Amino acid sequence: MSNPIRLRDLIRQIRSAKTAAEERAVVQKECAYIRDAFRDEDNTWRCRNVAKLLYVSLLGYPAHFGQLECLKLIASARFTDKRIGYLGAMLLLDERQDIHVLITNSLKNDLNHSNQYIAGLALCALGSICSPEMSRDLGGEVEKLMKSSNPFLKKKAVLCAVRIIRKVPEQFDVFQNSIRSLLSEKNHGVLLTAIALIIEMCQQNSQALQIFRKLVPNLVRILKNLIMSGYSPEHDVSGISDPFLQVQLLRLMRILGRNDLEASETMNDILAQVSTNTENSKNVGNAILYETVLTIMDIKSESGLRVLAVNILGRFLLNNDKNIRYVALNTLLRVVHADHSAVQRHRATIVECLKDADVSIKRRAMELCFALINSNNIRTMINEMITFLATCEPEFRADCTSNMFLAMERFSPSKRWHVDQMIRVLTTAGNSVRDDIVSSLISIISSTSELHGYTAQQLYKIIRNDITQQPLVQVASWTLGEFGDLFVSGQYQHPDDNEHVQASEDEIVGVLEKILNWSICTVVTREYAINALMKLSTRFPSCSDRIQSVMTVYACNMNLELQTRAVEYTSLFTKHNPIRPSIVERMPVLVSNAASNTANEETSYEPEESPSFNGQNHSVQSTNPSEHVDDLFKMLDETPQTNGRTDSNTHSNILDLLNSGSPQVSSSSNPLEDILFGDDLSKNESMNGSNSTIPSMKVIDKNGLLIVFQFEKQDSILVIHLHATNSTSIPLKNFTFKAAVPKTFNLELLPPNSTTIPANNSGDVRQIIKISNPNKDKLRMRIKLSYSSNDFQVNDEAELNTFPEQCYT
């Protein structure tokens, strides 16, 4: 066979190809020649042909036919052949292919070879492609090389051991005795690899963690020698002695000191020295300081050392390098729960980062600002965040608005301030507001009776001239529908209100008509408006005929939802006028079905001290839930109290109104809700299609977490299929769901399929609840759930009283 072209000539030909087709032609021609050479057992040029094949493989072309040739090169006695053979094995083989088992014997021979470079090749290949079987077969050979006097072989053997431990953690026993001697090595390369091996062992084996904690004084001594040693040209990087080894030492100390007071105390002094003696004018020093901060905040360090660590991050925030500022913000967000007061000292600098042009820095600064909000700075911080909301990019507004609402819900100094600020937020955010904020604000307004008229007046002042901001208009429509009569009468005029505005009944109805008739408004906003008009039909008797005319017109509307509501409301004016006042009477105080910020008075729950605000909602928790189980069941056994007239006759009349035939049971078990809020609940039933005839039920829809119950009957057992999804960009971890039912029920809660709810609705957590109900009682349930979002713990609880009737019949 003729002399093949050299590798450099092949590279030159491929690079000179002007089109992809020309390149393929060159590669296919050369691959055909290489196949023929392999078939003819051409030993002379096998090494060159395999080298060319590896280059072709790197370009993405198939090269699997060269695998056996790599094994032949490995078996060769020549170093140059072995070098290409092992390189080919690392590129073309992996542990999933059976052929790589054939290399085991060659590896064993080469690991014991007298030539250090051949043994080094074998260690590199083993560390790259070893399987659990190869790890067990060759672990002893690697351990022998770890004891070699040759640093070149020793560091390669230690790195190979890292791969073996990763594949087979129980091999820890093989390498355990060699570790202590490695830490006394003078060669920094061996030290670096030894620390990497210890880190891997600690992460894979809890027994190793306990054993290596005894070596903390050795690690402290090594780190102290590094920072106290003079100039060493061999290890100096920008004036710092071996920063790579320092960083690895700090990482290992962080692992060993976590949750261990004795080990942490041993590290305190050296960490303080590193923090104060490391030069921070260059990135090398900043890298060491960053690792030092993480170590200080992760171990049980002294309070003064934690303040020092946070101050280092504060200096990072003043750096001109955007990457360093981002790292500082990201780290502060991780450690703010550990030392809240120390981070507060840098609040002004963090707020200044909101003005940064870089969106990544801006987002981290926004999240950190919300984490710093407390009862002392709530007024100042909300003003800062509203200023930010007015100028930030649209993608920030939804998160910013939600977090502001949660912060005010937790720390607001007064109800009036809370309502005023939320109106400011809605006015500033425009249409970038999530639906849950609208419903939550309505709930707050409903529960603050002394501000009903004042809130209606403030909202009317805004929407009389501008109805473009849909969420604000929705809140205003609901408020005017409920409390517009209080505003008109002036009996709730607040003494501190500087701009007194008075409106007539016709003016309020006119604004709501304007909203209803403006085609650009969303359907949801127009639904709020038509409901509000129906409410005012009894509160403003002089406008009753006008409102009835509106309903008559909309009974022919092209939108099915608006048409259905208008037809039902028209029937209330005509066929069922006597019961119209009782149907559209003022709503009782709204309490969210998902969670409540106040404990139920019938339970003996006491508030638990909550951590600083972290961007999530927190409900009141029991200090010891086990002490209140009996009270919980007692509460569920009692008849729930209502604030409105909900007698059986009224319900019958409503059912007769909606259905001329036999009554149909709605998913809410409350026909009044269906009249006033439409088919929102029935829409949710079809979200997660179920084969059961029982409609599904939305349980939680808050802060991106959606929990839906789907039901099926199995003989006398009600089986509830819980589906939990997460629409946020952060996975929700450590998810737990607990439930309690009255004593007349038997409940079995099966374990969930996972404890992590993936982000962006990319998956769900499923759990099965089985309930037996021998007495056919109405089902009631108290639930409690917890999860962590971005390392912050969130707790919620709710009482569920609106199960579909088919669940207990």
Lowest mean pLDDT among 32-36, 174-178, 557-561, 669-673: 669-673
- 163 domain residue, yes or no: no
Contact 158, 193 (CB under 8 A): yes
CA nearest neighbour of 193 among 142, 157, 141: 157
Contact 38, 49 (CB under 8 A): yes
Predicted local confidence at residue 361, as pLDDT: 92
Contact 61, 31 (CB under 8 A): yes
pLDDT digits (tens, 9 = 90+) for 499-510: 667 788 888 999
- 495 domain residue, yes or no: yes
Domain C-terminal end among 263, 279, 295: 279
Mean pLDDT for the stretch of residues 598-619: 32
692 by DSSP, 3-state: which? coil
Q: Is the pLDDT of residue 231 over 80?
A: no
668 by DSSP, 3-state: which? coil
Count CB atoms within 10 A of the CB of residue 433: 24
Q: How far apart are CA 625 and CA 607, in angstroms?
A: 11
Contact 242, 226 (CB under 8 A): yes
Predicted local confidence at residue 211, as pLDDT: 87
> Angle at the Cα of 120 (from 122 to 215), degrees rounded to 5?
105
Predicted local confidence at residue 230, as pLDDT: 67
Q: How far apart are CA 51 and CA 549, in angstroms?
A: 87
CA nearest neighbour of 87 among 115, 61, 55, 65: 55
What CATH number has the domain bearing residue 602?
Answer: 2.60.40.1230
pLDDT digits (tens, 9 = 90+) for 647-660: 333 333 333 333 33
In degrees rounded to 5, what are phi and psi of residue 358? -75, 125
- 547 domain residue, yes or no: yes
- 759 domain residue, yes or no: yes
Predicted local confidence at residue 491, as pLDDT: 61
Contact 732, 705 (CB under 8 A): yes
Residues 659 and 730 in one domain: no
- 504 domain residue, yes or no: yes
pLDDT digits (tens, 9 = 90+) for 481-491: 988 888 787 76
Mean pLDDT for the stretch of residues 220-241: 83
Bigger pLDDT: 313 vs 280: 313
Bridging pattern class, strands 697-702 and 705-714: antiparallel
Contact 737, 720 (CB under 8 A): no
Residues 656 and 754 in one domain: no
Residues 511 and 470 in one domain: yes
Q: How far apart are CA 769 and CA 343, in angstroms?
A: 43
Domain C-terminal end among 78, 112, 134: 78
Q: Is the pLDDT of residue 374 over 60?
A: yes
CA nearest neighbour of 551 among 653, 675, 681: 675
Q: How far apart are CA 751 and CA 739, in angstroms?
A: 12
Q: Is the pLDDT of residue 600 over 80?
A: no
Residues 498 and 618 in one domain: no
Q: How far apart are CA 491 and CA 485, in angstroms?
A: 10
CA 599 to centroid of chain Cα atoms? 27
Predicted local confidence at residue 590, as pLDDT: 64
Predicted local confidence at residue 595, as pLDDT: 39
Residues 622 and 719 in one domain: yes
Predicted local confidence at residue 632, as pLDDT: 38
Tally the domains of the chain: 5
Q: How far apart are CA 425 and CA 438, in angstroms?
A: 11
In this prediction, residue 282 has a pLDDT band, given cuts at 50, 70 and 90, of confident
Q: Is the pLDDT of residue 685 over 70?
A: no
527 by DSSP, 3-state: which? helix
Cα dist from 236 to 221, 226, 794, whole Å:
19, 10, 47
Count CB atoms within 10 A of the CB of residue 247: 18
Residues 53 and 30 in one domain: yes
- 653 domain residue, yes or no: yes
pLDDT digits (tens, 9 = 90+) for 709-755: 999 988 788 999 999 999 888 889 889 999 998 888 888 899 898 89
Q: How far apart are CA 774 and CA 740, in angstroms?
A: 17
Q: Is the pLDDT of residue 476 over 50?
A: yes
Task: Please report how the helices 116-129 and 132-146 are oriented relative to each other, as an axis angle in degrees rounded to 10.
Answer: 150
Residues 715 and 789 in one domain: yes
Threshold 0.85, pTM exceeds: no
- 340 domain residue, yes or no: no
The amino acid occupying position 447 is: S
619 by DSSP, 3-state: which? coil
Domain C-terminal end among 78, 110, 139: 78
Alpha carbons within 13 A on the beta-carbon side of 222 = 27
Q: Which residues have C-beta within 8 Å of that of residue 597, sequence separation ≥ 6?
A: 409, 410, 619, 620
pLDDT digits (tens, 9 = 90+) for 444-474: 888 888 888 888 888 998 898 888 889 999 9
Which domain, by its residues, includes 29?
A: 1-78
Residues 715 and 767 in one domain: yes
Residues 508 and 612 in one domain: no
pLDDT digits (tens, 9 = 90+) for 406-432: 999 889 999 899 999 999 999 998 888
Mean pLDDT for the stretch of residues 65-79: 87
- 140 domain residue, yes or no: no
Q: Is the pLDDT of residue 222 over 70?
A: yes
Cα dist from 289 to 139, 264, 274, 312, 316, whole Å:
37, 18, 8, 7, 10
Percent of the chain with pLDDT over 70: 84
Residues 519 and 601 in one domain: no
Residues 523 and 461 in one domain: yes
pLDDT digits (tens, 9 = 90+) for 778-790: 888 989 999 988 7
Burial class (CB in 10 A: 0-12, 13-18, 19+), 379: middle
Residues 517 and 570 in one domain: yes
Predicted local confidence at residue 97, as pLDDT: 63
Helix intervals (H) in 448-522: 452-463, 470-489, 505-517
Bigger pLDDT: 615 vs 371: 371
Predicted local confidence at residue 497, as pLDDT: 58
Predicted local confidence at residue 199, as pLDDT: 92
Q: Is the pLDDT of residue 643 over 60?
A: no
Predicted local confidence at residue 493, as pLDDT: 58
